Amino acid sequence: MKSTLLLAAVLCSTIPLAACANQSRASEADELREHLASLPGVASADLDYTEPVTLDSGKLTLTVALEPEATADDFVTVVEVTYDAFADVHRGEEGDLEITWGDDSAHLRSFEPDADTAAVAAAAEAAVPVLTEAVTRAEINTQDVAAKPHVETRFTVTVAEPGIEGVLAALPDLDRRFGSIEHAGWTVQTAAENSWALNSSDGLPDAAQLDLLAELRQGLPKGAALWLGDDASMSVFLAAGTTPDDASAMVGRHLAILGGAGKAFYDIQQEWDFVGSIINGECYFDSGELGARIEKDHADGCTKVDHDVETS
């Protein structure tokens, strides 16, 4: 046994460092889980740890359920304690913390982070008022965040009222109450799958994005919905029964608004089926009835066209 360990040590000393697996931090990860489980307001704390292997770091995923009556301080403490460990003993490992708190959830992501613990705690504290409003998810990220304070948050707020009217009605109050939260992006959406959503990477959707939405909404086929980003990237969700004529006419209007196929970042779905995408001139069209019609009418603006890929 000693000779085997010595040989392994010699081999690792003669090849690049990255070719050897990092030290396991499984015991430290379990200590962290036990610490989290003992904190006030915590109902349960679970751990899934993946051992490091050659050329791949260890990974720890912690899942914490808070008691319904947990306080804001309880939530912030869980994030702060976890990030302390992520930034220290687990710095070279991929760290994920998933928190459930009633209908709401939060996620902390870390890998070789640069943020101070105080900055992450501040982000968690800023998230609490949003989490206690509508059904909300807060994703706090410290991985590859170059700008100070090296932490950013994405809020996903799901409104109760269906349709785009519910999304638009929620925006003024969200802006009034939470628009000052720094280093935050937002998605405001309806509860239904493949339905209306507005996404902004820096702050809540602004007037320019809302003006673009108003244009894109005009003449939509019955039952259609849009996902719209602040960079004009968008997805269209078509209802069952949408005709090829209506789908193609809609695509034509949208491409004209977006500046043509060469500038668009655009995809179309019908229920769960992918119909097509047009991304900076590169186009994919499904071979079904809708995809074929959209290709026939709009492929001239594409620099490249692909179709279904057969899989065995």
On whether both 184 and 275 belong to a single domain, the answer is no
Q: What is the pTM of this model?
A: 0.89
Q: What is the pLDDT of residue 7?
A: 43
Greater model confidence, 78 or 308: 78
Domain count, the chain: 2
Domain limit, last residue, from 192, 227, 247: 192
Strand partners, 73: none
pLDDT band for position 310 (cuts 50, 70, 90): very low
pLDDT digit string (tens) for 94-145?
999 999 999 999 999 999 999 999 999 999 999 999 998 889 999 999 999 9
Domain limit, last residue, from 148, 165, 192: 192
pLDDT at 8 exceeding the cut of 60 = no
On whether both 176 and 223 belong to a single domain, the answer is no
pLDDT digit string (tens) for 199-233?
999 999 999 999 999 999 999 999 999 999 999 99
On whether both 95 and 49 belong to a single domain, the answer is yes
Please, which contacts does 157-162 make with residues 24 or more away whose CB atoms are closer than 8 Å? 157/130, 157/133, 157/186, 157/187, 157/188, 157/189, 158/134, 158/189, 158/190, 158/191, 159/134, 159/188, 159/189, 159/190, 159/191, 160/134, 160/135, 160/191, 161/190, 162/190, 162/191, 162/192, 162/195
pLDDT at 3 exceeding the cut of 80 = no
Domain that holds residue 249: 206-312
pLDDT at 309 exceeding the cut of 60 = no
Q: Looking at residues 255-272, what average pLDDT do you find?
A: 96
